[in-house]
Amino acid sequence: MSGRAVPWRTHPPQVRGPTSFIVREDGHETKRKVTIGSRPSCTCSSSGANGNKELCLHVLFTMLKILRVPATNPLVWQLSLTGECSP
C-alpha cells in the first residue's frame, strides 16, 4: 500500500463492533464489510475467505490504517491469525 493514495479519504470507515468494519472507496457506492478474526474476511470477491490465496485491499487497509498494525508485523499479510490455514 505504500505509494498509493488512501482510497477512503472522504469516507471514513464505520465501526460495527470491535472487529467488524464497513469501508467504502471514494468514487464507489459499494460498501464492504471487513471482519478481523481468526480468519480475516471481506464481502468483496477478492477476499481470502472466498477461496483466493490473497488478502484483499479492504482487509489490508483495515489492518494497517484502522487497527494500526505495523506493516512489518506478519499478522498483516497472513491469511489466518491462528495456526490453521485450511478453509
pLDDT in tens, 51-63: 556 788 888 888 8
Give domain status of residue 58, yes or no: yes
pTM of the model: 0.69
3-class secondary-structure state, position 61: helix
Give domain status of residue 75, yes or no: no
3-class secondary-structure state, position 33: strand
All three cell numbers of 32, joined, read 464492504
Give domain status of residue 65, yes or no: yes
Question: What own/partner pairs with CB < 8 Å and gap ≥ 24 does 41-50 have?
Answer: 48/79, 49/87
The predicted-structure confidence for 1-50, as pLDDT tens digits, reads as follows 444 545 555 456 666 677 888 888 777 788 888 988 888 888 887 655 54
Give domain status of residue 7, yes or no: no
Give domain status of residue 85, yes or no: no
Task: List the domain range (segments joined by +) for residue 37.
Answer: 14-70
Q: What's the total number of domains in the chain? A: 1
